[in-house]
Chain A
């Protein structure tokens, strides 16, 4: 119920936070919104000696327009992302995914960067970020580097962020005018998906010009359904054509088997949800 004892720092600048992280190394853990970390600490699955809170660093919060990109600060809450009109206009896939992530209370505290850094394979933001080709800006004591989405997610709960580094912002290439849909399959309210599909489509008349499809919980990291993306190009946005292309959704995936369903069941779900997501994104 209650975490083991730890020391606590709440720096007001990124530099201070990085210095504290460098000093305490392995013994330290960052807390953003705490919506994933606190349950872990309360169950005593982890017991850091030092917790460094990013909550007082204003520069990590907010959404800004940067030409071809939208830039979302790591500490921007899910609720802020969900209600932001620029995100809805230029990266609608993110708006759709965050709308049904967890519940209202969790969305008020949980952060965009925290969810991506946590890298739960069932998390709702990884597949949209991957599908949109997001870039992750990561700061360390030696400076700042940018990691492409394809290289960010490494394994279950593991990303390219080093022990002494902080994710500061995520740059999302604008997909203005693209339709988007996040199809989340779940049995109970406010929970992680059994499988979910993130699709965004650029349609030209009734024809699909370009499509990007991300899969949630179909492996140890979010995955791109590239075979589906390729098969969709030039196809009409009709039930039959999309069903045909979506048949390849489980290609190259390695879904888990658990109480919610075995791997075969998830492979089947992926094809069904991909069809639904692409059709909805194409407005068909």
Chain B
């Protein structure tokens, strides 16, 4: 067992974990952040995307012990005071989801993208979310939502 301390969605947490525990397992099973989901076994789908120290990562491909001392934001930490984050609102408005399974990761990656590039072209949005797979929407409305959020301050997380 290894002792880890980190901040998850603004709250300090500390636990003894097996070194082999993945960050996504830690978030879901120990911290109860089940908004972050697991969609694949190969680190391809991006459904598990969270921010670690301000950068998007696939939490199925990070060990919990590697996040020791870090700051994690999950999809559950985006809304402030009951107000949806502009990116969440844009996904809602633009109908950017169907089954919704890819959505938590898609939104976390989209927020990261706007931090690096506040006004991306359609092509840049498509490239920026290339590590996130959606089996339902055909991406069209997702791209629209990201560009809509870009017009309304979607980068401020």
Give A contacts to B, CB under 8 Å.
Answer: 1-8, 10, 31, 34-35, 38-39, 41-43, 51, 53, 55, 79, 102-106, 108-109, 189-190
A1 surroundings in chain B (CB, below 8 A): 41
Interface residues of B in 51-107 (CB under 8 A from A): 52, 55-58, 61-63, 65-66, 68
Given contacts A104-B56, A105-B57, A190-B44, contact A3 B20 (CB under 8 A): yes
A-B contact count (CB 8 A): 80
Indicate the member of B20, B57, B132 with the most A CB atoms within 10 Å: B20
CA distance A42 to B58 in the complex (A): 14
A42 surroundings in chain B (CB, below 8 A): 22, 41
A105 near B63 with CB under 8 A, answer no
Given A2-B22, A8-B65, A38-B22; 19 other pairs, CB 8 A cutoff: A7-B19, A8-B63, A35-B43, A38-B43, A39-B42, A39-B43, A41-B20, A53-B65, A104-B109, A104-B113, A105-B46, A105-B131, A106-B131, A108-B55, A108-B57, A109-B57, A109-B62, A189-B130, A189-B131
CA distance A106 to B43 in the complex (A): 9
B98 to chain A, nearest CB (A): 20
Q: Which of B19, B43, B109, B131 contacts A8 (CB 8 A)?
A: B19
User: Does residue B119 face the partner (Cβ distance < 8 Å to A)?
Assistant: no
A107 to chain B, nearest CB (A): 9
Given contacts A38-B63, A106-B58, contact A5 B44 (CB under 8 A): no
CB nearest neighbor in B for A108: B55
B19 surroundings in chain A (CB, below 8 A): 5-8, 51
Q: Which of B56, B61, B65, B113 contacts A39 (CB 8 A)?
A: B61
User: Does residue B148 face the partner (Cβ distance < 8 Å to A)?
Assistant: no
Main secondary structure of the interface of B (DSSP, over half): mixed
CA distance A147 to B44 in the complex (A): 34
B22 surroundings in chain A (CB, below 8 A): 2, 38, 42
B128 surroundings in chain A (CB, below 8 A): 104
CA distance A55 to B70 in the complex (A): 12
B44 surroundings in chain A (CB, below 8 A): 190
CA distance A43 to B42 in the complex (A): 9
CA distance A177 to B100 in the complex (A): 48
A99 to chain B, nearest CB (A): 10
B113 to chain A, nearest CB (A): 7
CA distance A41 to B55 in the complex (A): 24
A189 surroundings in chain B (CB, below 8 A): 130-131
CA distance A105 to B40 in the complex (A): 15
Q: Which of A53, A106, A108 contacts B66 (CB 8 A)?
A: A53
CB nearest neighbor in A for B67: A55
A10 near B65 with CB under 8 A, answer yes
CA distance A105 to B60 in the complex (A): 11
A81 to chain B, nearest CB (A): 14
A223 to chain B, nearest CB (A): 27
User: Does residue B25 face the partner (Cβ distance < 8 Å to A)?
Assistant: yes
A34 near B41 with CB under 8 A, answer no
CA distance A87 to B117 in the complex (A): 20
A10 surroundings in chain B (CB, below 8 A): 65, 68
CA distance A109 to B57 in the complex (A): 7
A108 near B20 with CB under 8 A, answer no
User: Does residue B15 face the partner (Cβ distance < 8 Å to A)?
Assistant: no
